[in-house]
Amino acid sequence: MKTGVGRPDWLLWLGWLALLAGVAYLSRPVLPLDETRYLAVAWEMWLRGDFLVPFKNGEAYSHKPPLLFWLIHAGWWLAGGVNEWWPRFIMPLLALASAWMTWRLARRLWPEANETAHLAPLVLLSSFLWLLYSQALMFDVLIAACALIGLIALVEAALTGRRRWWGLFGLSVGLGVLAKGPAILVHLLPAALFAPWWAGHPGREIKWSRWYGGVGIGLLLGVALALAWAIPAGLHGGETYRNAIFWGQTADRMVESFAHRRPVWWYLAALPVFLFPWLVWPRLLGALARTLRSDIQDTGVRFSLTWFVSALLIFSLISGKQPHYLLPEFPAAALLIAHALTRHPPAGRPWLPALVFVLLGGALFAIALNDSLQVRLHWPAAIPAWAGLPFIAAGLIAWSRLGTSPQRLAAAMLLAVCGLLFALFRPLAPAYDTHAIGQALARQQALGKPIAHMGKYHAQFHFSGRLAQALTPVYTDIADWLEQHPDGVAVIYFDDPIDFTAYQPLLVHPFRGSFALMVDQRAAAALRRIPLIAAPESPGD
C-alpha cells in the first residue's frame, strides 16, 4: 500500500468501513434490547415533534442525553423521512471521523514519521472491539469521537500556545456530555491535568497558570453548552425528568457501576482480546517495550500513555466494568502501537495471531459439524459448516508475505469479523429480529386495541412497528389484565417451545432465546395454569 506523504488514506478507510457496515446490515437486524431502545427513543421524539426531551414508551427518557438521537433525526430530515438504514451507518461514519482524527494526532505528535500516521488509523480500525462497535448503534464510538476533538485541541494548545484551541476543547466537553454525560471527563481531564509531564520539556515554553486557566475556561464552555440543552429540557420535561437529568443520572451511574462487578484486573486481562490481533503478536510486544524504554521522553509517547493508562486505571477501580467503556482509549493504543511499529519494525511473520485465527476456524468447524456439541454449548442456532473458513483464510493471510505484516494482520482481522457476522450472527437473526412482532402490534394498535407487555418494556418493538401509542407494562397477573380488557392483547414470554395451542396465540415468534406470544382474552384461563418467565432484561437502560 503506497500512500501520499502527509495525506490521509481516505479511500482505504472509507472502503474498509463501507464493507464492514454493509456486511453488518446484511447479516444482522437491529439488536434488542439496546439498539432497538435507542431507535425507539429517536422514533418517539420524531413522532411527537419534540426534539428537546427524549421519550420512551410515552415517558420522558432520562437515561441518555440527546446527541445520538439528534444525529438520527438529522439523517431522517435529510433523507426525507424515517428509515432504518441511516441510524445503522452513523457509527461507521463516526469511526471514519475517528480514523482521520487519529491520523491528525499522529501527524502532530510525530511530524517526521509519516508511516506512523498511516499505521495508527489502520491499527484502530482493525482492533477487534473497535470493529464490533463500529457497526453497532451504541454511544461509545460517538463518545470516542467527541474525546478525540478535545485531545486534538489539547495537543494543538500545547504545541502552538494559541488560545482559540480552548474553545474547541470546550466544544468537545459539551458534545461529550450531550453524548453520554460527565463520563467524557474521564477521557479528557487526565491529559489536561498532567500536561506538564507530556508537554513540558526544554525548548517549549508553556505558562502553566495560563494552561490551567484555559482548561477551566474550556470546562466552563462545555458545561454551558450542556446546560443550554439541559435547562430548557428540564423545564419542558417536568420535575421528575428535571431531577433525573441533573441528579438522578449521577446516582444511576453509581448504581450501574456495581451492576457488572468484575475484579480490578479484568480490563488488563481482557486487553489482548479487545485489541486483538495486535497484543498477541509477540514481536510487537517486544517493539512496544523497546519503544517505551527508548522514547519515554517523547511527547507523543507520554501523551498517549497519559490518555490510555489514566482511563484504564480509573475504569479498573470502578467495580462495574463493560468492554465498551474503554473504547475511547483505543486511538491512544493505536498511536502507541503504530509508533512502535515505525520505530522498531518487528522482524518475521506474525505467527501467533495467524495461529489463533486458524485455531478459531478449526474450533468453529468442530462445533458446526457436531450437533451434540452445539447442544452442550447451548448455542441457540445452527452454525453453518463453512463458518471456520473465513478464520482459516484470515490466518493464511496473516502468515503470507503479501504486503507488510501490519497490513496483513489488519486485512485478516476485517475478514474474520465479516465472517463472524455472517457465520454466527446471521443464523441468530430470526430470534433477534423484532419486525414481525412490531408490525403485528402495529396492526392491533390500528384497530384501537390496548396492548400490555408482561414485565418491563424496553420499547424493543416500537421502532420496527412504528408504534404510535405506549404499551402498558404489567408486573402482576397478566391474566387479570386480559380479563379486565376484553378487547386488548398482550405480549408474553415462554422459555421453552411448548405446545402453545391452549393459549390460542395471535402470533408466536422466537425472541432472544425465549418465545414471545401475542395473545388476547382467550389465553387468560391457560395463563392461570402455567407460570410465565419474566420479560427478557437488559444490562442497562
Separation between Cα atoms, residue 301 and residue 110, nearest integer Å: 10
**What own/partner pairs with CB < 8 Å and gap ≥ 24 does 312-317 have?**
312/267, 312/268, 314/186, 314/190, 315/186, 315/267, 316/264, 316/265, 316/266, 316/267, 316/268, 317/264
Q: What is the mean pLDDT of residues 482-502?
A: 91
Question: Domain count of the chain?
Answer: 3
Structure confidence by residue, pLDDT tens digits, 455-471: 999 999 999 999 999 99
Average pLDDT over residues 240-250: 78
Looking at residue 540, what is its pLDDT?
Answer: 54
Identify whether residues 305 and 410 lie together within a single domain: no
Indicate whether 282 and 142 sit together in one domain: yes
In a domain? residue 211: yes
Confidence tier at 528 by pLDDT (50, 70, 90): confident
Q: Which pLDDT tens digit goes with each residue over 394-445? A: 999 999 999 899 999 999 999 999 999 998 888 889 889 999 999 999 999 9
- Domain-embedded: residue 2: no
Domain containing 377 equals 351-432
pLDDT band per the 50, 70, 90 thresholds, residue 67:
very high
* 54 inside domain: no
Assigned C-alpha cell, 99: 480514523
- Residue 463 and residue 334 in one domain: no
What percent of the chain shows pLDDT beyond 70?
Answer: 92
**pLDDT at residue 147 is higher than 80:** yes
- pLDDT, averaged across the chain: 91
One domain for residues 259 and 359: no
Question: Is the pLDDT assigned to residue 160 strictly greater than 80?
Answer: yes
Q: Phi and psi dihedrals of 68, rounded to 5? A: -60, -40
Specify whether 414 is located in the same domain as 521.
no
Q: Are 136 and 36 in contact (CB under 8 A)?
A: no
Residue 258 pLDDT more than 60?
A: no
Predicted pLDDT of residue 3: 43
Domain termination site, one of 292, 320, 343 = 343
Which of 188, 183, 212, 237 lies closest to 55 in space, CA to CA? 237
Quick one: 321 and 372 in the same domain? no
Q: Check residue 1 and give its pLDDT.
A: 38
143 and 235: one domain?
yes
Last residue of a domain, one of 285, 317, 343: 343
Using the 8-state DSSP alphabet, how is residue 328 labeled?
G
Which three cell numbers, joined as nine digits, stand for 225?
453548552
Residue 45 and residue 58: Cα distance in Å, rounded? 10
Among the candidates 404, 432, 460, a domain finishes at 432
Q: For residue range 344-385, what is the model confidence (pLDDT) as tens digits?
A: 999 889 999 999 999 999 999 888 888 777 666 666 677 888
Distance CA 107, CA 113 (A): 8
Tell me: do 114 and 260 sit in the same domain. Answer: yes
Give the per-residue pLDDT at 254: 45
Q: How confident is the model at residue 535 (pLDDT cuts 50, 70, 90)?
A: low
Q: Where are the alpha helices (DSSP H) in 181-295?
A: 184-193, 195-198, 208-237, 239-243, 249-256, 266-274, 282-294
Helix axes 330-343, 85-109, angle to 10 degrees: 40
Question: Do 236 and 267 sit in the same domain of this protein?
Answer: yes
pLDDT band at residue 525 using 50, 70 and 90 as cut-offs: confident
CATH number at residue 444: 3.40.190
| Cα–Cα dist 528/508, whole Å | 19
Q: Work out the end-to-end distance of the chain between its first and last CA atoms, rounded to an integer number of angstroms.
A: 43
Q: Is residue 50 part of a domain?
A: no
Cα 265 to Cα 252, 308, 321, 333, 493, distances in angstroms: 24, 15, 11, 18, 38
Kindly tell me if the per-residue pLDDT of 154 is higher than 60.
yes
Same domain, 392 and 523: no
CB 410 within 8 A of CB 126: yes
Residue type, 488: G
Same domain membership, residue 313 and residue 274 = yes
Q: How confident is the model at residue 532 (pLDDT cuts 50, 70, 90)?
A: low
Contact of 28 with 433, CB cutoff 8 Å:
no
Cβ-count burial of 381 within 10 angstroms (0-12 exposed, 13-18 middle, 19+ buried)?
Answer: middle
Evaluate whether residue 149 is within a structural domain: yes
Q: Decide if 51 is inside a domain.
A: no
